[in-house]
Every structure is written in C-alpha cells, then in structure tokens.
A and B are shown apart, each in its own frame.
Chain A
Amino acid sequence: MSRRATLQPPVTTMREAERWGSAMSGGALLVYGLRRRSLGGALLSVVGGGLVYRATLGRGPSLTRVAGPLVDRCITINRPVEDIYRFWRNFENLPRFMRHLLSVTVFDACRSHWVARAPAGRTVEWDAEIVEEVVNERIAWRAVGDADVQHTGTVTFSPVPGDRGTEVRVMLHYAPPVGRLGAALAKVFGQEPALQVAHDLKTFKQVMEAGETPSVAGQPRGARRSGR
C-alpha cells in the first residue's frame, strides 16, 4: 500500500484568479517600491517581485488554502482490472469491505444512497452521483444535498505490467463549509481518514483475492488468567 500526501501542505497549484491577482499586485508593489528610492521602497519591491515570480511559476505557498486530497491511498490486487472494476461499480458491494458503511442503495446508473456508521450509535446518510466514469479505468462521484457530508471521491483502476494485477487508488476530497471542520463525514472517518481508507483497501484486496477476510474471532483459547 502506498501513501501520497495525506493532508497536503498548503503548497498547491494556484487558481487562475489568484495567479492574476498575485501578478498584478506584485507588479504594482515592485514599481511603487522602486520609485520611492528608499530602504522601505526596496523592501516593498522585493516583496512585489516575489509575488510576480510566484505568479509566473503558477505555484507557491497558497494564500487562499485550496485543499489537496484528504486521502490518497493505493493498493495492488492480484486480479484483472475488469473483475475489480465490476465489483466496485456495483456500489452495493462496498459495505463488504468499507467497515464504516452500513449500506448503499443504487437508484439508477448515476445516483445512489449511502448510509454510514457514525460515533455514538448514530448514522450519517447522503446521496451520491457519479460525475465521471470510464469503464475499467475510473469512477468519480460527489455527494449531493446535505453540506455536512459534502465530498468528492475518485477511484482509479490500472493494470500493472508483468501479470501483477491491478492498482486501485482512492482519492477523497472534502471541503466542509467554513468553520465546520467537524462535519459529519469527518466523524465517520475519525481522526485518521487515510488509515481508515488504507484498512478498507486491504479488506477489499482480501475479499477480491481470497474471497474472505482472515479472522480468529471466536476461536478457542485458554483462560486469559496468568500465574498459578
């Protein structure tokens, strides 16, 4: 299982508006600073120059906090890409390996209803719609409705050369409304969303490869007492 940036540092690709803003304000500062012909002016022009440079590169420390993916996890499964895609595409299969999911009900080719377990015996529900689908390659979806569970997700499937099965990569983005970082979905995923997804992907692999998940639940053992 590989890990990309789980919570990306705020060095991200700038949006076009920010890039233009950066260039223009930087240019203005640069000119104004140079014209003042003083130490303060020199400093201002250095800052301005930096902004222009940053705009030229199109990246740099973000001033508007455009979030990267919350989760980006990957696993390799020893099955052909078609089998894995087919299993995943039937979303009603997902609760078999996503431990926080209680059920998924598929309405039509595009829309489905998801119910997940939340702390304290509660549940969280949302509708999802597929926004992009390339058979045997990728599925992207987004939650619709309730802002508390707003997220988008992408799963990609790619065959590994040399008869090594299929890489499955899951990316989740979610941007709760400002000031609501403790939104419902965050509660579902707990403190470590990337670990949750990693665990779910491992279970997915076990289900796809072995047809079952290894378990010792309920097996016999001696009493846990120690000493005689």
Chain B
Amino acid sequence: MKAVCWYGTGDVRVETVPDPALINPRDAIVKVTSTAICGSDLHLYGGFIPMMKAGDILGHEFMGDVIEVGPECHTLRVGDRVVVPFAIACGRCFFCTRDLWSLCDNSNPNAEMLEKVYGFSGAGLFGYSHLYGGYAGGQAEYVRVPFADVGPMKVPDSLTDDQALFLSDILPTGYMAAEVCRIQPGDVVAVWGCGPVGQFAIKSAFMLGAERVIAIDRFPERLALAASYGGAEAMNYEDVDVFEELKERTGGRGPDACIDAVGTEAHGTSVDALYDRAKQAMMLETDRPHVLRQAINACRKGGTVSIPGVYGGVLDKVPFGAAFAKGLTLKMGQTHVHRYMRPLLARILQDAIDPTAIISHRMRLEEAPGAYRMWRDKQDGCTKIVLQP
C-alpha cells in the first residue's frame, strides 16, 4: 500500500509499504477513506518530537471502512464505516473506566520509555513517535487499529467523510479545551491560535455559553475565519500588546478563561519569544512557551488556563508565581477523544456545528510531501488539509 512516511525534519515521503495485518485479538484493519494532517503533525515534521525513526508511518486523524476484525473484537463488522480516535485505549484499566481515555495504562508498548521521561506513561497514539508506542499511523491506504472494540465509532451514512473525520481529534480537542473552562454566563474567553483546534475551541466556547470570544493569531485568513465561522472578535498579536489589549477589551478584568491552542512552537514578537527561539535553536530549551506565559499573565484572577496545545519538555520562565497569586486553574493534556465522539456526533447531526468549514484543501495522499510543506508555511490560506488515499 501507499503510506506517508517520516524521514527526518522537513522530509516526508509517500512510500510503498506492506499492507498491515492483525497483530492482537482485539485489532481491526481499516481501509482509509479520508485522513487529515494535524497541527501536531507539524511538530513531527519540524523535528521537535524525539524518538521518531526513518520510515515511520504518520497520521492520527483518519476514518474509513473496516475490512478485517480480530477474534476478540466483537463490536465491529467488516463493512462498518468508522472514525477512529487518535489515542489508543484498552477500555478496561483504571483510567479508561474513569473516562480518562488518553491516559490508558495498557496501550503503549513502549510505556517504560515514557515512564523514564514523565514518571508515568499515557496512552499509545497513532503515528506519533516511539515514545507513544510507535504505532503506524493512518495517512495510508490501510491502517491497523488496536483495541478496535473500544475506539472506532460507527458513522451514520447520512454524514459525509468531511463531516465525521474531525471527530478523530481536533473537534473533541477544541471542545474539551472549552469544556474544562467551566464557562459561566457572561464569560469572556480568549483563544490563542486560530488553527483548527482554536477554531473548534471558539465554536465550542459559544456552544457552552460564553458571552464573547477573543481570537488571537497573526494570519489574517485565520482571524477572518475565527470571526466569520466562530463569531469571535479578532486580535492580531503583531499589531498590539496582547496583555494590555485583552485587559482593555474586558473592562480591566482580564479574560475569564484563556485557551492556549498553540503549544510548544509558539511564535511571538516579544523579548521572551525571541529568547525562546534562540534557546531552542541552541538546544537549551525543549519548548517555546511564549503563549502559555501570555495566557497565564492575561487571565483574570481565579480564572482558568486551558492548554490543548502540546508541550513536551521542561518549560523555561513560566510565570508560576502569577498563576499562584491569581489562584488560576490550569487544565491540560491529551484529549479523551472517546468521551466526546458520540456527544459531538450528535451535535453535528443536529447542525449545531459544521466541522467542514475549516477545510481549505483536499489533496491526494500522494501529494502529502507538498501538503506538509504548504501546511507548515501557512501558504495559500491553508487552514486544514484533508488527504484522500
């Protein structure tokens, strides 16, 4: 089959590789009909995630048709059309049974590696380095899905692929980012990063009752989408002092909740952002937490900072004193996709949210190398790329 393989920083290739086969009894094989490139795939493309090996198959947002099921996968049948969560979960451990699916105890074959770095290991992820299990991803014609009796959700025929695909990651991720803010009537929510997760966080914040959402980015097309699709107020951080401007726009209070939908590769124009760039270039720092700093400083007293953006290492100069002094709540972590897929499918079926609006490009799987480049460089008004095998 054809698959998108990682070969190094800025180097992905479409290779011909063997078709996947069942490995464990609860596995299924899915013939991929649609797959997307995620913002977090750019962390791999940029070489920011350790423990990638040349030839690893990428992709954790995908859906398709079940073509084979293992003997212990009793919930799926050949021919079922499913969307698959990016986090792999056994469904039976302490964490899965408490709805904390992305923290599954049993799905990462390389858990001992991650334990060395983080103390404990979370779930295995599709196509996201050997730290997270080294699972072959779904930017391919076929993919093996472990614990397929737990993860994949059947998609009604009335829905197109475009409508269902983002249930695999970014729609639940944006939703969870807003949900953990425990939005109250009258709340103003600030969202840093107007990529797909930011767009869905904006949309979700309004679904959950926010009064206003302020969207912060530097790309005009993304800010325009945040305004037209999400109904947010745009703020270009290259034009203003973000802290002062947020304070100004919230009557001096600061936003009730701040969502960092950027993560480890933040760009910025301030001194600390340049400092991060330099330190990271010299390998003295693992992450560039510029947005996190800004969100912590800007958030109102007693507010919530929600962090769907990915961080990997030991962060430098995070204003923890400010977080403490203001009594902030910090919420973060990989999305518990399984928890949100069914409720969000219902929202899509009710027309409460149209996930297709963020798609800017549809391309063939074979065009993946160019698609990654375009996505990284934010060319051509690129907001989301869907690949079809």
Contact = CB atoms under 8 A, between A and B. Distances in A.
A206 B92 CA distance: 10
A206 B7 CA distance: 32
Contacts of A227: 7-8
B343 to A, nearest CB: 25
B5 A221 contact: yes
B94 interface: yes
User: Which 3 A-B pairs rank lowest in CB-CB distance, beginning with the nearest?
Assistant: A222-B5, A222-B55, A222-B15
A224 interface: yes
24 contacts: A76-B94, A78-B105, A206-B106, A209-B90, A209-B93, A209-B105, A210-B90, A214-B109, A214-B124, A214-B146, A215-B23, A216-B135, A217-B23, A219-B136, A220-B17, A220-B19, A220-B136, A221-B57, A222-B7, A222-B17, A222-B57, A224-B55, A226-B8, A227-B8
Interface string B76-96: 000000000000101111100
B54 A225 contact: yes
A220 B20 contact: yes
Given A205-B106, A210-B106, A226-B54, A216 B134 contact: yes
A222 B54 contact: yes
A210 B57 contact: no
A62 B97 CA distance: 48
Contacts of A217: 23
B2 to A, nearest CB: 10
A190 to B, nearest CB: 15
Contacts of B109: 213-216
B54 A212 contact: no
Interface residues of A, number: 28
A217 B20 CA distance: 11
B159 interface: no
B26 A212 contact: yes
Nearest to B14: A222
Contacts of B13: 222
Nearest to B95: A78
Given A222-B17, A222-B57, A226-B8, A211 B93 contact: no
A165 B98 CA distance: 13
B23 A219 contact: yes
A210 B147 contact: yes
B24 interface: yes
B57 A216 contact: no
A218 interface: yes
Chain A, interface SS category: loop
A205 B7 CA distance: 35
A125 to B, nearest CB: 29
A164 B92 CA distance: 12
Nearest to A199: B112
Identify the interface centre among B3, B55, B107: most chain A CB within 10 Å of its CB: B55
Interface of A: 76, 78, 164-165, 199, 202, 205-206, 209-228
Contacts of A211: 25-26, 72, 92
Contact of A216 (B8, B23, B92, B106): B23
A213 B19 CA distance: 22
Contact of B55 (A205, A214, A215, A223): A223
A193 B329 CA distance: 42
Contacts of B105: 78, 205, 209
A210 to B, nearest CB: 4
Nearest to B134: A216
A206 B136 CA distance: 21
B23 to A, nearest CB: 5
B21 interface: yes
Contact of A209 (B23, B88, B106): B106
B108 interface: yes
Contacts of A226: 7-8, 54
Contacts of B147: 210
A214 B17 contact: no
B303 interface: no
A222 B15 CA distance: 6
A202 to B, nearest CB: 7
Contacts of A210: 26, 90-93, 106-107, 147
B144 interface: yes
A216 B136 contact: yes
B94 A215 contact: no
Nearest to B19: A220
B331 interface: no
Contacts of B251: none
B347 interface: no
B106 A214 contact: yes
A211 B56 CA distance: 27
